[in-house]
């Protein structure tokens, strides 16, 4: 009986907490992965071509991605300031028209200054 009451109370508190905040306060998926940034903020530029399969970055690093080359190249800049994670697909963070047809994985390494030295 105590388990049922505890479960009910937990569910009620969760429902109240969820309903009390505005919908805008809910994080979007990109917020969890990082955030767009201006080109001026970039720590470095990474070129993506048809042979690129992965890219290595550090958490809290700001990277300007250049996809393709020449006049058809698409660029966008991303700050990896979201939740700590091991990897993300480039097409999850890139603008819709910026990624080619092949999959590129971005491996996000720990940043000792932010994540500690574990």
Assigned CATH class of 27-115: mainly beta
Give the integer Cα–Cα distance in Å for 57 and 70.
Answer: 24
Whether this prediction's pTM lies above 0.85 is answered by no
pLDDT value at position 91? 92
39/56 Cα distance (integer angstroms): 19
pLDDT tens across 76-110, in order? 999 999 888 889 999 999 998 887 778 999 999 98
pLDDT of residue 1: 58
Listed as ranges, residues in the chain with pLDDT below 50 are 5, 8-9, 16-17, 19-21, 23-24, 26-27
3-state secondary structure at position 7 = helix
Query: Could you tell me the residue ranges of all domains in the chain?
Result: 27-115
């Amino acid at each position: 009986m105590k388990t049922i009451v505890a479960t009910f109370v937990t569910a009620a508190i969760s429902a109240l907490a969820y309903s009390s905040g505005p919908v805008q306060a809910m994080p979007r998926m990109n917020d969890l992965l990082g955030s767009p940034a201006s080109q001026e903020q970039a720590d470095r530029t990474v070129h993506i071509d048809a042979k690129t399969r992965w890219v290595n970055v550090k958490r809290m690093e700001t990277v300007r991605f250049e996809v393709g080359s020449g006049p058809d190249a698409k660029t966008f800049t991303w700050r990896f300031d979201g939740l700590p994670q091991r990897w993300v697909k480039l097409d999850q963070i890139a603008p819709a028209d910026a990624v080619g047809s092949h999959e590129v994985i971005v491996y996000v390494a720990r940043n000792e200054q932010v994540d500690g030295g574990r």
